Amino acid sequence: MSSNLRTIDYFYVMIPNTAGQGSRVLAALADEGVNLLAFSGFPSGRKGQLDLIPENTTQFLRAAKKLKIKLSRKKTGFLVQGDDRVGALAKLLQTLADARINITAMDAVSSGKGRFGAIFWVKPAAVAKTAKLLRAR
């Protein structure tokens, strides 16, 4: 059983909630050489929200400025990757619950080939406590 947990920078961008808008943003970032560790997209009111987690924040910000993508301010979240198994996130979630840390949102997937990944967010006031508790790098 091996897992890796780290803090990540993330940003969101609001886009029209119409077909192709997310593809347009992701393709433009890819054309600038931006690698995303993860992204999540969902409707938000009459718009769509894309949460973008770049591998390299400096490169991402440079590309977003060039592309005139209006980003939110930088926020902090967590990325966990590891060997997939039954209950892969149960201990992590219980550790947070025992510390009375509430998760704002979480997305997790099995990537196949015995691996999984998850991104999650806590309130800004709980970021430092969460990072210390989970020994995030």
User: For the structural domain made of 9-74, what CATH number should be given?
Assistant: 3.30.2130.10
Dihedral (CA of 126, 6, 105, 133) sign: negative
pLDDT at position 2: 65
Q: Ramachandran region of residue 34, left (φ > 0), alpha (ψ -120 to 50) or beta?
A: beta
Rounded mean pLDDT for each run of 10 residues along the chain, 137 residues in total: 86 96 97 96 95 97 98 97 94 96 95 92 97 94
CATH architecture of 76-134: 2-Layer Sandwich (3.30)
Instruction: Report domain extents, the chain.
Output: 9-74, 76-134
Alpha-carbon distance 134 to 74, whole Å? 21
pLDDT attached to residue 35: 98
Q: Give pLDDT, residue 112.
A: 84
Residue type for position 121: W
